[in-house]
Amino acid sequence: MSAYLKIENIDKSFERDGVVTPVLNNVKLSVNKGEYISIIGHSGCGKSTVLNIVAGLLNPSNGGVILDGKEVNQPGPDRAMVFQNHSLLPWLTVYENVALAVDKTFARTKSKAERRDWILYNLNLVNMSHALNQRPAEISGGMKQRVGIARALAMEPKVLLLDEPFGALDALTRAHLQDEVMRIQAELHNTVMMITHDVDEAVLLSDRIVMMTNGPSATIGEILDIELPRPRDRIELAEDPDYNHYRQEVLRFLYKKQRKLENLEQHRAGKSTGTAIATASRATA
């Protein structure tokens, strides 16, 4: 089966004041339609850079992204992003924030009545039908994220991109929204790529977890298949040996294997420096 989303040999460097900083090195990933993929790694490893390249917000230095047979080279409604910050327009109501995206995406393909029904459907999907006329300042942080998710889903994207969408929420609200995202994904069978720092969140939500090495020149270190049956119940999984095995595998990579990789790179760098010094010494002898 051909991959729905392909990230092919992505390199990314940033240049400032003549100094080039390599961020990503040869990142390769294939995602099937309907998969839930989490990307995890330490801060600064380039997780959000990968997501921004898939979103078309950044262009890679080398390589490319193919979605449903077409190259990604700019932002588009086929990829909807939900950020850690809800990014709602404060002067618009809940309904109007979602309507903004729907009217922009479907102005030529849906009638006004169809667009209204579609807005209401997506707000109902995230349990926000009761707050249509409220503005962002009048609702909680968790509700704002629900609206952000509704706005993204209302664009009918081929891939839903989540950049630490629950990171700014309290633990209880975070758990509720995780459950909502699982329910929605089970209902819609949409393709999701999520950035997270939370190991438990990654194991609970994902079909596969992509583990990034530390930067600079970060890449994919390991990919872990999460073979837990769905629907998933966080209470039941707390005592599940498979769940805890997957959790330990991610922690082992992040805190043990990653340290070994760094030590290996330092050793190689030290050998290279030593060789260069020895060569220079012989040349001047």
| DSSP for the chain, written as a single string | ---SEEEEEEEEEEEETTEEEEEEEEEEEEE-TT-EEEEE-STTSSHHHHHHHHHTSS--SEEEEEETTEE--S--TTEEEE-SS----TTS-HHHHHHHHHHHHHTTTS-HHHHHHHHHHHHHHTT-GGGTT--GGGS-HHHHHHHHHHHHHHT--SEEEEESTTTTS-HHHHHHHHHHHHHHHHHH--EEEEEES-HHHHHHH-SEEEEEPPSSSB-EEEEEE----SS--HHHHTT-HHHHHHHHHHHHIIIIIHHHHHHHHHHHHHHHHHHHHHHHHHHH-
Residue 141: inside a domain = no
SS3 track for 93-107 = CHHHHHHHHHHHHHC
Residue 36 contacts residue 192 (beta carbons within 8 Å): yes
Does residue 145 belong to any structural domain of this protein?
Answer: no
Residues paired with residue 44 on neighbouring β-strands, in sequence order? none
pLDDT of residue 255: 87
Quote the pLDDT of residue 276.
Answer: 52
What are 50's two structure tokens?
């990968």
Token pair listed for 98 = 């979602």
The pLDDT value given to residue 96:
97
Domain that holds residue 249: 5-78+157-284
Q: Residue 265's pLDDT is what? A: 59
Considering the domain boundaries, does residue 106 fall inside one? no
The token pair at 144 is 């704002």
In a domain, 126, yes or no: no
CA distance 212 to 237: 25
* Order of strands across the sheet that contains 208-212: 79-82, 159-163, 191-196, 36-40, 208-212, 220-225
Looking at residue 145, its pLDDT comes to: 92
| Mode of pairing for the β-strands spanning 191-196 and 36-40 | parallel
Residue 167: phi and psi, rounded to 5, are: -65, -30
pTM: 0.87
The two structure tokens encoding residue 167: 């990171």
Domain count across the chain: 1
85, part of any domain: no
Going residue by residue through the chain, which has 285 residues, state the pLDDT in tens, using 9 for 90 and above.
Answer: 579 999 999 999 998 888 999 999 999 999 999 999 999 999 889 999 999 999 999 999 999 999 999 999 999 999 999 988 878 999 999 999 999 999 999 999 999 999 999 999 999 999 999 999 999 999 999 999 999 999 999 999 999 999 998 887 888 989 999 999 999 999 999 999 999 999 999 999 999 999 999 988 999 999 999 999 999 999 999 999 999 999 999 999 998 766 655 665 565 556 555 555 555 555 555
Residue 211 in domain: yes
**CATH classification of the domain holding 182:** 3.40.50.300
Residue with tokens 């579609």: 118
- Residue 118 lies inside a defined structural domain of this protein: no
Contact call for residues 247 and 203 (beta carbons, < 8 A)? yes
| Residue 239, in any domain of the structure | yes
